[in-house]
Amino acid sequence: MSDKIKISRKNVEFLKKIEDLSGEVIMRCDQCGVCSGSCPMISEMDITPSELMRKVQLGQEDVLGSKAMWLCASCFACTVRCPRGLDVSKVAEALRQVNLRKAIDHIDLKDIPDDEIKRLPQIALVSEFRKFTG
């Protein structure tokens, strides 16, 4: 089943917003797929990194509801390989920030079991909360 979409002013504005926030010229992505091929978290993702870029290029705001951007580990494997010189991790961050800046945290301390909190090194908790809270 494929949806029909229109590309309206609103879609273009969404693309511009993500381009500004990430500092990346997302329209330059030619969908080669190197980022997806390099991503360590891809098996968990609902859409691939290149698909994420594609949706942003088409200004599809529903990409904000995807799981993929929350699974990014900011490992920069995509960054060092993109033949167009784009930084996909920055695009993922921009998408996360759009959500987080609405004061909607992605994770809650309460959801982490006590024994995990005892086990986890501080660095894990610090980086997780910096990444996924507004």
Positions in the binding site for another protein (CB under 8 A): 20-23, 30-38, 40-44, 47-48, 50-51, 71, 73-77, 79-85, 87, 89-90, 92-94, 97, 107, 111-112, 116, 119-128, 130-131
Quote the CA–CA distance of 18 and 41 in Å, as a whole number: 22
**Would you give the distance in Å from CA 79 to the centre of its chain?**
13
SS3 call for 83: coil
Residue 81, both tokens: 């390989």
| Pick 12 or 32: Cβ nearer another protein | 32
Give the nearest distance from C-beta 71 to another protein in angstroms.
7
| Pick 57 or 89: Cβ nearer another protein | 89
Quote the CA–CA distance of 82 and 105 in Å, as a whole number: 30
